[in-house]
Amino acid sequence: MAEFQGHNEALKCIPGLTLSQHPPEQRKDLFLKKLKSIVIAKSVHPTEFDGYTIRERFSKMGWEQLLNFNCDKIYRRVVIQWTSSLSRNGDELTGIVDGKSYTITPAIVRDLLKVDTRTDLQYARFNQADLQTITDENKIRWLEACKTVFGRELDDVAKQFAISVLNLTPLVKILWGIGLWTFHPRLEYPNHVLAREIYLLHALYTGDYLHSFAHLMIDDIWSMYVDEYQQTIPHGYYISEILNRLGAVSENEHVEVVDLSHRQITRSSFRDLDFSESPTRYIIYDRVLKQRVTVLKKAIEVDAPPQSPPHPMPIPNPHADMTNNPEDLIKKQLSQSKKQLDEMMSIVSNMQKQMEQQAFKAERREQERELREQEQEKRAEEREKLAEIWAHANGVDEFQFPFFCSFLRTERSANNQTDVLLTELLADLQS
């Protein structure tokens, strides 16, 4: 960093001009003057989010490798040198490191970071400006995006404001938290969601739109470079990895190593969410929204039914009459093989039916348990309401009433006796 501490502090940006529109000899000093930090990258814990459909959504977008990126180090000086000397030609960004030019393109990003891996569909460049024009299609997409991300529709005015991340639905809240260190990195307003991110989260959650991460990264880096008020370099760790692979890092270059606790996203990263599971479902409970989301488990582990011992393959008899017709022998062996195959298919079919039955029974037990709990809670509320009516009718004052309710709560385990008591109290009151 010492190399960049001698820039001209008195130099200021010309109002109305982007940094790339300033005289070339001023751009590096102007960039270094505004630069505050580099956004770190984080990977996702390899197993903690299994079953919650997080990896599946990134995989459907072709971005799964972002969750696995080994962001344990960064060549900070190299990243700052390259970014402070940027120029752009179409989608190509070129910067200088130690006097040599290095160019990063969408193709290089895809190749080295292993992103945008879908080949069955064509990727589209995300351009928020295209979505700001007033058309029926854009209105519908905005309403659908808000309903997916927040659970309710928001009007177009909301596009102009940052919305609290607390309003995100639980699963989307996880996607947003991961995106803050991967596909929409920023340090400014870390507790709010911007309109651009609402569109990206909607695409990632539903899989209805296929956006190119490589172009997102190129556009984010250039936007930070030219904007006077953007002070943190996005995707810095990805830039570091790419420049290293391109040969911009010398053997004795200083490297900053990042501790695992600062570069991995775990369940504890989401303080408002509780993670649990039942025999049939994965569960997320949002303590702020008081909202519970469940994801059905794809497969239920069951004990395999006993299997019949496999039939041995027929062994040709070396003393058999070789005068027999070879075609008849082949047909006989094929017939025996087909019979064995049919038996094996029957065993597999029976196993599958048993697994489906056990899964259905487990699901049904879970539903019955939930209904019982709801019924118990309802009966408990009814009992306390009856007790309150009887207490007020018989002159139990505010000081005595809590003790009376406490008595009823201690008696809940004997439901029949408590119900009888309350029935008598209600009869008393009616008389």
Domain membership of residue 179 (yes or no) is yes
Q: Are residues 213 and 69 in the same domain?
A: yes
- At residue 322, φ and ψ (nearest 5 deg) are -75, 0
Q: What is the reported pLDDT for 37? A: 94
* Residues 358-381, mean pLDDT to the nearest whole number: 75
Q: What is the reported pLDDT for 328? A: 67
Domain membership of residue 286 (yes or no) is no
Domain membership of residue 284 (yes or no) is no
pLDDT higher at 168 or 346: 168
Q: What is the reported pLDDT for 313? A: 45
Domain membership of residue 273 (yes or no) is no
Q: Are residues 180 and 31 in the same domain?
A: yes
Q: Are residues 220 and 336 in the same domain?
A: no
Is the Cβ–Cβ distance between 123 and 211 less than 8 Å?
yes
| Residues 163, 167: Cα–Cα separation, whole Å | 8
* Report field, pTM of the whole predicted structure over 0.75: no
Q: Are residues 379 and 235 in the same domain?
A: no
pLDDT higher at 85 or 415: 85
On the question of pLDDT at 212 being above 90, the answer is yes
Q: Are residues 119 and 204 in the same domain?
A: yes
Q: Are residues 250 and 137 in the same domain?
A: yes
The proportion of the chain whose per-residue pLDDT surpasses 90, expressed as a percent, equals 53
Q: What is the reported pLDDT for 189? A: 84
User: Which structural domain range is residue 407 located in?
Assistant: 299-312+327-430
Q: Are residues 67 and 193 in the same domain?
A: yes
| Residues 187, 167: Cα–Cα separation, whole Å | 19
Q: Are residues 113 and 158 in the same domain?
A: yes
Domain membership of residue 291 (yes or no) is no
Domain membership of residue 86 (yes or no) is yes
Q: Are residues 244 and 306 in the same domain?
A: no
**Residue 144: both structure tokens together:** 């659908």
Tally of domains within the chain: 2
- Tell me the average pLDDT of the chain: 82
At 160-178, the pLDDT tens digits run: 778 999 999 999 999 999 9
Domain membership of residue 17 (yes or no) is yes
Q: How do 291-296 and 281-286 pair as beta strands? A: antiparallel
Q: What band does 325 get if pLDDT is binned at 50, 70 and 90? A: low
On the question of pLDDT at 427 being above 70, the answer is no
- The angle, 0 to 180 degrees and rounded to 10, between the axes of the packed helices 195-206 and 170-179 is 110
Q: Are residues 345 and 196 in the same domain?
A: no
Q: Are residues 135 and 263 in the same domain?
A: yes
At 61-74, the pLDDT tens digits run: 999 999 999 889 99
Q: Are residues 107 and 176 in the same domain?
A: yes
**Residue 197: both structure tokens together:** 């991110």
Q: What is the reported pLDDT for 2? A: 39
Highest-pLDDT range among 112-116, 158-162, 335-339, 356-360: 112-116
Q: What band does 33 get if pLDDT is binned at 50, 70 and 90? A: very high
| Residues 202, 146: Cα–Cα separation, whole Å | 8
Domain membership of residue 227 (yes or no) is yes
Q: What band does 230 get if pLDDT is binned at 50, 70 and 90? A: very high
Identify the residue whose tokens are 């989260």: 201
Is the Cβ–Cβ distance between 80 and 223 less than 8 Å?
no
- Residue type (1 letter), 30: L
Phi-psi region of 125 (alpha: psi -120 to 50; beta: other; left: phi over 0): beta
